[in-house]
Every structure is written in C-alpha cells, then in structure tokens.
Structure 1
Amino acid sequence: MEGFMSLKIALLGTGLMGFPMSQNLLKAGFNLSVWNRTKTKATPLQQDGATVCETVSDAVKNADMIITMLENGPVVEDILFTQGNVNAIQNNAIIIDMGSIPPAMAQDHSKRLAEKNIHHLDAPVSGGTKGATEATLTIMCGGEEAIFQRALPIFKAMGRATYIGPSGTGQLSKCANQVIVGNTIAAISEGLLLAAAGGANPAAVREALSGGFADSRILQEHGMRMLERNFEPGAMCKTQLKDLRTALEAIDGINLPVTQTTKCLYEKLIRKGHETLDHSSLLLELEALNKPHQLTK
C-alpha cells in the first residue's frame, strides 16, 4: 500500500457522501485535494489534512485519480466537459465517477475521456451516509479491469469494491441495487402497516421476522427508522426517485411494473415536500393511502 500513498487524489463533491469518503481517504494516508460548489462544506476537511481548492481545475491538475461524487449525470457533464475542466486533467489520470448517472452517459464519458488519454471508471456506491462514514460502502465498478486494479487501494479506503464488467455496467449494477432497495422499502412499509392495521404490534412483527426469510438489512435498519419515525436522511427521497427513473429508462423494451409503482409513490411523496427526507419515509405515502391507519401513533 505504501507505494500508493504518493498518489495525488482529487475528490469533487463533499456533500453528505463525499465528505465522509474524503475523511476516510485522509485517514488512510492519501494526498487529497477537494472541491465543492459551496466551499464551506469542504473547508472543515483542512483540519484532517486535505487541500481545499477554489476551482475544479485547481483540484484536478496534477491529480493521478479524480473521484466525482456529484448530484447527477448532467452535473458531471457540466463540470467535466461544458466548463472545460477536463482540459486541466493530466494524461493517464483516472476519473472515478462514484455518483449515480445513466449507464449510457457513463459509456459516453468513458469514450470521450479515452480520446484525451484519460481513463474512466463508473463506480457508484450503496450504503448511504452510514456506509460512507464507516468505510463500508458497496462499490460497483465498470470499466477496464486493469484500471480497476490500479484503483483498488483507493476503493479499499472507502469500502468493498467489485468489478462488474465493461463501461456502464457499474451504473447498471447500481440501477439493480436501487430497484431492489426502493421496492423493498415499499414492501416493508406495506407489510408493517398491514400488521399494525390489524392490531399487531409492528415492532414485535419486525422482531419476529428477523432471521426469517423476509429478513433483510432494509428490514433491520429502515424498519427501525419507520418504527421510530426517524427520517433524517441517510439517502434522500429525491435521490431514490432519480435512480428509479434512471433504472426504468436504462434498457429499452424491459418492463418493470413493480418499480414503476414504487416510482409513482415516491413522486407523490415528493410533491408533498418530502424530497430531502430519508427514502424510508415512503411509509408516509403508504400511510396517506390508508388513513386513518398509521404504523405508530
């Protein structure tokens, strides 16, 4: 690992996820420069040893690896290409896009960067702010396998990385992840609400299901969030909706009716002003559809 510590890393986007990811890279001993559109969100990283940059170009120049943790595909497109910051990136550098963007856009970015002799990996993550803080993120990576191997020491500082396949397949894996997560949140909301409406103690039902065939990390963590009505964001509703839309549009000719229904439920929830709540707050929309029944009083 020691030989990798001389690598210069830039991380663009120090929001809910990017900030703790930066902290873990610094804890691992990497030389890190950071940039965020709102500089004050990056400034506290100075005390951990990061160089906080005024511009994207300042952050990426001379960087060996550049991590983007940005809001969506259009933002990545704007920052790298429209603003021209790609021209400040040195030859043979590796851009690691760890946000969630459409698979086709990841493939397009990879192709355009290759023309400038810049490598690209699409490496979206799962695990929310808890995983980002604890360095236990699930990282799904698409691109050239040799480039993935070069980036492994970086990934290991943030979580567990799996090579999926060619460019775009990391994003496809994230689409699959978000389909499963969103639909499971909806299923748990319905299951616990059903039990509560019939007079069962939903907390006891969750405990009874633990270790059984219906158990999951989402039942454990988000089921508890629902019972406690704790919807402080680990992953926001607006992000979950964005990813479900991406999944539904990713492959022509595939029909995902369950995901379509879940997407519509998130859209209704967000229209009520809940876009920044945790995605487990989908329970609120299920409760609205089943008044006067609630999971907890």
Structure 2
Amino acid sequence: MTKIAVLGTGLMGAPMARHLGACFDISVWNRNPDRALPLADIARVARDPVEAVSDADVVISMLLDGEATEAVLIGKGAIEAARPGALVIDMGSVEPECDRRLADFASCHGKHFIDAPVSGGVVGAEAASLSIFVGGSTEDFEYAFRFLSALGRPTHMGPVGSGQVAKLANQLIVAITIGAVAEALHLAENADCDPAVLVQALKGGFADSRILDLHGNRMVKGDFQPGGRSAAQLKDLRNALDAAAQAGLTLPLARTVTDGFADLVNNKGGADLDHAAYFLWLKSLC
C-alpha cells in the first residue's frame, strides 16, 4: 500500500489526514504534537518530520506559509529524508516562487514535486470537497490524482507554481466578494432593510454566491469562528499583490480589500477570526 506522510495537522490538515487515513497507510506530524495526537486512531504519529517521511512514497505538506514550509521541507530535512523518487505535494498556500524553489531542491535530491493548494476552507476539508489547484508535470499530476481525489476535485493548472497562482486568483475573488457582501449588509443594517431577509432575497439572482450564502449568514449571525482565518487571508492577498507587481499589474480592488484586512488583523484583533470578520472591520468605520 502507498505510504503517505502528512506534515501539518491544523484546522485544514487534520480532516484531510483523516480522509487519507481511510484509504492509505499514513503518518502524521505537527509542530504542536497535541494537534496530531487525535489522529492516532488512523495514523502513526511521528515525533519529527524526518520520522514521518522516512518510509513515505508521498509527502503532503499543509503548513502555515512559505517560510514554515521551507523550514520543514528543507531546513528540517523532510525532502531529503523521503524515499528515493518520492512525490512531495505542497498543499499549503505559499508564494509561487517558494514552490518553484522547493521543486528545484526536490529534483536535486531525486524527488518529484507538485504544488496543490486548496480552496473550500474547513468545511470543504471535512467534506472532502476541496477545489485543488495543481502545478507540476502531467505525469506527477496523474500519479497524485488518486490521493488528491480523496480530498476533493483536483485540476491540473500547468507547471509548478501555477497551482499557487490559481489559489491567489481564488483568494482575490473570495476576499473582494467578502468585501462586497459586507458592504451590502452594512448598508442594509443601517438603512431599514433586514440583513437576514436580504441574504435570503438575493438567492437565485445575479448577486447570489457561495460567499453570500456562507459568509453572509456568518455576518448576520455574528459567527466569526474561523473556517478561514483573517490572518491567512491577508497573507494570500499580499502574495497576490506581490505576484501582480512582478507581472507589472495594478489591482485596485485587491489593494483596497488588502488594506482593510491589514487593519482588521494588525489593529482590530481580528487575526484569528474568520475572514467574514471583514464585516466587523467595516462596522468599526461607521
């Protein structure tokens, strides 16, 4: 049986590991061991990344950001310790250049590499319905397809790094739409229109969206427990703006919503709140 190591078992990584554990032989590691121990019923819990990957055919990384990912995959020796010819899959959201560097490092050590960031949040991870954006060779995508299909719907986007670009595009749409929904509900709330009724009334029209349904209702209920953390949203927005700058592009809406999330995260205590908490930031402006 194919052996898979999952590095990072936080809000997203834990349910993803559980789905993989139902189909494959897996090991897991997390920087905070308490986050990995609940998976002991379906996985071998490793003490460090090297132990986790030592007999792995596939290494899946689901870590916080590019810095953490490189620190574990390169700094802690996870890529080097994996089996010869192993496939390394970065499913976290990092800068495209980070995964290109990791792919080069993996190749130099006789390993394969693809980037496969996801969209769908904790809800999608728990339901195994994630959208998965894959960058890498056709052969590596085809090999990884059965593993990734246990987590959602994988789509091959192009060479290494293109999966991360697709994720950044996704995050732009998510963040800007959250901003639009927040402004609409803020207007309704302050102009004699019931926001809860508005969310229902908009269903089926051109303004309808998954963001309206999920995050609009979060805003109405005041439920900002994290499905997707505002700090993570801000990280992705900044990465998107960096990618745009490298391409010589100006993205005015992205800049505006990034500034809002930056204030929410850095000055309003919203780092660990769901990204729907942009609504709280908007309300703080009056």
State the TM-score bracket (shorter-chain normalisation). over 0.9
> Which residue among 26, 37, 42 is the counterpart of 2:36?
42
Q: 1:211 and 1:85 mapped to 2: Cα distance?
A: 48
Give ranges in structure 2 of 5+ residues lacking alignment. none
> Which residue among 282, 288, 296 is the counterpart of 2:284?
288
Matched, 1:19 2:14: yes
Alignment correspondent of 2:261? 266
Q: 2:73 and 2:191 mapped to 1: Cα distance?
A: 54
Matched, 1:125 2:118: yes
Alignment correspondent of 2:128? 135
> Which residue among 106, 109, 115 is the counterpart of 1:113?
106
How high is the TM-score relative to the length of structure 1? 0.94
Alignment correspondent of 1:294? none
Give ranges in structure 1 of 5+ residues lacking alignment. 1-5, 291-297
Please list the CA deviations of residues 269-296 of structure 1 after superposition, one character each: whole Å capped at 9, or x if unmatched. Answer: 1121110000001001111112xxxxxx
Tell whether the 8 Å contact from 2:79 to 2:88 is kept in structure 1 after alignment: no
Q: 2:269 and 2:253 mapped to 1: Cα distance?
A: 24
Q: 2:108 and 2:219 mapped to 1: Cα distance?
A: 48
> Which residue among 51, 55, 61 is the counterpart of 1:58?
51
Q: 1:56 and 1:15 mapped to 2: Cα distance?
A: 15
> Which residue among 75, 83, 90 is the counterpart of 1:97?
90
Alignment correspondent of 2:62? 69
> Which residue among 266, 272, 275 is the counterpart of 1:276?
272
Extract structure 1 runs of 4+ deviating beyond 6 A.
none
Q: Deviation of residue 86 (structure 1)? A: 2.4
Q: Which amino acid aligns with 2:28?
A: V
Q: Secondary structure at the match of 1:42?
A: helix
Q: Which amino acid aligns with 1:289?
A: L
Q: Percent identity?
A: 44
Q: 2:121 and 2:77 mapped to 1: Cα distance?
A: 30
Q: 1:50 and 1:224 mapped to 2: Cα distance?
A: 36
How many pairs align? Answer: 283
Q: Which amino acid aligns with 1:26?
A: G
Q: Which amino acid aligns with 1:142?
A: G
Please list the CA deviations of residues 3-25 of structure 1 after superposition, one character each: whole Å capped at 9, or x if unmatched. Answer: xxx00000000000000001111
Q: 1:186 and 1:94 mapped to 2: Cα distance?
A: 38
Q: Deviation of residue 83 (structure 1)? A: 2.5
Q: Which amino acid aligns with 1:41?
A: R
Q: Deviation of residue 85 (structure 1)? A: 3.0
Q: Which amino acid aligns with 1:249?
A: D
Alignment correspondent of 2:24? 30
Please list the CA deviations of residues 60-84 of structure 1 after superposition, one character each: whole Å capped at 9, or x if unmatched. Answer: 1120000000000011111111223
Tell whether the 8 Å contact from 2:130 to 2:153 is kept in structure 1 after alignment: yes
Tell whether the 8 Å contact from 2:134 to 2:162 is kept in structure 1 after alignment: yes
Alignment correspondent of 1:295? none
Please list the CA deviations of residues 242-271 of structure 1 after superposition, one character each: whole Å capped at 9, or x if unmatched. Answer: 000000001321111111110110111112
Q: Deviation of residue 46 (structure 1)? A: 1.0
Q: 1:128 and 1:224 mapped to 2: Cα distance?
A: 16
Q: Secondary structure at the match of 1:225?
A: helix
Alignment correspondent of 2:189? 196
Q: Secondary structure at the match of 1:37?
A: coil
Q: Secondary structure at the match of 1:162?
A: strand
Tell whether the 8 Å contact from 2:268 to 2:281 is kept in structure 1 after alignment: no
CA RMSD, 1 decimal: 0.9
Tell whether the 8 Å contact from 2:79 to 2:111 is kept in structure 1 after alignment: no
Matches within 5 A, 1:138-157: 138-157=131-150
Alignment correspondent of 1:293? none
Q: 1:285 and 1:88 mapped to 2: Cα distance?
A: 45
Q: 2:105 and 2:8 mapped to 1: Cα distance?
A: 22
Q: Deviation of residue 87 (structure 1)? A: 2.1
Q: Which amino acid aligns with 1:193?
A: H
